[in-house]
Structure 1
Amino acid sequence: MNKPELLEKIATNADISKASAERVLKVITETVIKTVSKGDNLQLVGFGTFKSGKRAARIGRNPQTGAEINIPAVKTIKFSSGKAFKDAVNKRK
């Protein structure tokens, strides 16, 4: 499913216009990004939790030359699915 298909589903199921559905989706995604960027978790019970993590700096190798390169530390994004989500994917009751 792509974004236009998702917007169509939201608009149909929520009985709102596609423009309203797009605004809702935009606010949700912006809120998730801002919350996780600050280092906070965003938990949607039954769906999952968005959180940030850290990947330490490390030494890597250039696969073409074999030369060592420094890979800087970065923040990562993690998503842990909730029980209801996992059960739905695995078709459990």
Structure 2
Amino acid sequence: MQKSEVEAALAEKLNITKTAARDLLNVMLDQITLELSRGQRVSLPGFGVFEVRAYGPRTGRNPQTGAPIDIPAGHNAHFKPGKGLKDAISG
């Protein structure tokens, strides 16, 4: 499902215009992004939790030459599905 399809579904279910649905979705995504950039976790009960996780430095390999390269430490977004989402997926 593409973002435009989510917007269309929101517009239909909430009986709003597609422009309002696009704005609503953008605000939600912007807010999640903002909170994650501040190092906060975002919990949506029944759906899941978004959080930032740190990872340490490690050694990788250049796929073209096979030479080892150092990969620096960093941060990445992580999503952990909630019970409601897990139940819906597993049927």
Same fold (TM over 0.5): yes
Q: CA deviation at 1:64?
A: 2.6
Query: 2:50 is matched with which residue?
Result: 50
Cα root mean square deviation, aligned: 1.0
Query: 2:71 is matched with which residue?
Result: 71
- The Cα offsets for residues 9-57 of structure 1, whole Å up to 9 and x where unpaired, read as 0000011111100000000000011111111100000000000001111
1:29-40 map, 5 Å: 29-40=29-40
Percent identity, aligned pairs only, is: 38
Structure 1 stretches of 4+ with a deviation exceeding 4 A read none
Alpha-carbon separation, structure 2, partners of 1:35 and 1:81: 18
Unaligned segments of structure 2, at least 5 residues: none
Q: How many residues align?
A: 91
Unaligned segments of structure 1, at least 5 residues: none
TM-score computed with the length of structure 1 as normaliser: 0.92
TM-score computed with the length of structure 2 as normaliser: 0.93
